[in-house]
A = this chain, B = another copy of it.
Amino acid sequence: MFKQKKKAVVLLSGGIDSTTCMAVAASETDEIYALSFDYGQKHSAELEFARFNAENFGATVHRILKLDNIFFQNSALTNKDIAVPKYSPYSAGIPATYVPARNTVFLSYALSWAETVRAEAIYIGVNSIDYSGYPDCRPEFISAFEKMANLAVKEAVEGRISIKIKTPLISMTKAEIIRKGKELGIDYSKTISCYNPSEGRACGCCDSCIIRKKGFEKSGFADETIYV
């Protein structure tokens, strides 16, 4: 009997989380449609790693879309006039690296692609344990997006697919994510998490670098990151 192929759209940035999420998706799915964005991020070095990992984990297609989203400019991640803050254990609230509605825009494009290829799953490597405090990484956001998605698209409304937003890492610590990734064969030297890299090397002192560094310490694996 003909078995329907399981298809998934995977949001892939080139960091630890999305790369591990990609590896998990590849272990659960027949066909992967990997999606990355060039939105003027200072850390666009990540796109080379995204390309490497999409191929490495056998994505059927990998697309890098260029976003003409000038509204994303109001962030330390994209705006050269706003410095990427150094990590501080005392900082509270949502940091300057927050990008307005970024995951909403990314997931909307993923939804558009998912409907086009009739994929039922959209994977996103959000994590709400060892993370920067972005609101669009929390389970309540993901759940609200999933509800909206199933009311938005023809294929779902007419009952041919049911969209699931899959977040395999959402409740894992960074150390657990790294252990999972090593189990699935990830070479983390081929990923970058840094918000402010120089020539593809991590700064070692932004939020994202510190969270990553501590994750490696706790994981029991050697830190494969290439620092400046």
Contacts and interface: CB of A to CB of B under 8 A. Distances in A.
Given A135-B152, A141-B151, A151-B138, A71 B112 contact: yes
B113 A71 contact: yes
Given A74-B116, A148-B147, A94 B158 contact: yes
Contact of A71 (B74, B109, B154): B109
Given A68-B66, A74-B116, A100 B141 contact: no
> Which of the listed residues A69, A102, A138, A153 has the most CB atoms from chain B within 10 Å of its own CB?
A153
A153 B75 CA distance: 13
* Copies of the chain in the assembly: 2
B116 A154 contact: no
A183 interface: no
Interface of A: 63, 65-72, 74, 93-94, 98, 100-105, 108-109, 111-113, 115-116, 134-136, 138, 140-141, 144-145, 147-149, 151-154, 156-158
